[in-house]
Chain A
Amino acid sequence: MSRDLDIKVHHLTRVEGHGNIVVNMKDGVLEKAHLSIVEPPRFFEAMMKGRSFHEAAIITSRICGICSLGHQLTSLVATEDALGLEISEQTVLLRKLLIHGATLQSNILHAYFLAAPDFLNVGSVFPLIATHKDVVLRALRMKRLANDIGDIVSGRAVHPITPVPGGFSRIPEKAELLEIKRRLLEEALPDGLETIETMKALAGAIPQFERETEYISLKHPDEYALYEGDIFSSDTGALSVHNYLDVTNEFIVNHSTSKHAKYNRSSYFVGALARWNNNHAQLGEEAHAAAEAMGLKPNCFNPYMNTIAQVVEAVHCILDSVRIIDRLMEMGLKNEKPNQTPTRYGRGIGSNEVPRGILFHDYTYDNKGNIIKANCIIPTGQNLANIDDDMMKLVPEIINKTKEEITLNLEMLVRAYDPCISCSVHMLEVDFIE
């Protein structure tokens, strides 16, 4: 069918940085299909230059309100790598607990507040509050517990930040951790199981679209990698995070001020689906049962299933948090002081899996412990080329649908990746009733 199609979705907000979807088809030939990002110029290096190693993680945690913990922990890992700071097993376990909390929170909110309204075709989360109040309250209950894990372990409610280079400036109390464990088992686990039922009921509305791509995530020898590991490509296998620039190969495109990334193909996928495809064998029985119930299979090439992979991870995070707390209790909490005596000065790389995918921080320190060079590559930047490639394949496949249906399919595709594109500003815009 030869058809002209011209789609422009402007996600207008008062702030630069929201994504616009642009599709252009002429006489049945697809000329353009991409997500155009208008992001502020890269400010990261300028912001970090001259800062001491004590400050780096605090500043990076403020880059984005939703991704703050991921930036904070990845920054700490980069600093410790650069300065040769060894950390204890207790520190590693507490950080893993923090990552689980943040992943649980983000994945659950994404599934309920962004994906579910799409699957129910109601436009946004607001109509759901009237029709499915219990479901919205369940989502908020899980968010609250995830938040409380952050408060207790990272001390956010009291002091801004207790995770510091070399460890923690305050160790949580035994009773606080045991209370979290109780809530994980008594509240979050039943809520997680209900979530699987809800998503199972909605899974039929997930568009059937497949495009095999390269899946990149961390890989850890002993566990489902969220905190540290090697970089792993589904095409070519593992390499050290120290070689991350060989993977990200950032390049500039005309339609976006955010750089794109490619490795072995024209694009690659990062995020929950990449983690699932690369590391599903390391998940426990319950997570596998959840995946099976919701129709997620190993080697899934449908990007819309990213949301389902997130729900599977939420189940994993709940149960693994319980295991971590058990291990901490077994070891006995020690009131350790952070190790902040550098054994070298130079370059260090940190990489963790944050909810939206693999994140890199790269710092070079001078011999006074101040940053002279800094780089940060966020998951969304790495996914942009992949989203464009998805759109180029998707549009011709659904070209017989109405323009509105095509637009919705494209918006749902972008939402499935949950891009971080308007970091840092949530300014209120108001009209007064005269």
Chain B
Amino acid sequence: MTPSQRLDATFVALADPTRRAILARLATGEASVMELAEPFAISQPAVSKHLKMLERAGLISRGRDAQRRPCKIEGEAFAEASDWLERFRDIWEANFDRLDSLLAELQAKPRTMKPAKPKSAKSTGPKSRKRKE
């Protein structure tokens, strides 16, 4: 794999929330596939698939112990890629969260495209707002 392919693999690996959660868990110490599968509502084969992608990206390594093959985070590769990716993602996450609020506000108070119905006295319960438990 060329360095640039490696980096692409890293970005792909980091794009998935489950894989980021696995990395967060491994940041606290080594773990086996079974231990990693526990907190997630997914099967061991599914976790294994995620681990393969993380390993391919050089973000983790697997131990030699055939039984357990503990997974370990590879700090260096992680630091290189996560620096950029996380900074970039953080900015856009913050931007888009603000946009969510703005869009909710705009839908709650439709601008003067059509006259508001007289009965909407207060804008506390816009119909576009879904009530979800």
A and B part of one assembly: no
Contacts from A to B (Cβ < 8 Å)? none
Contacts from B to A (Cβ < 8 Å)? none
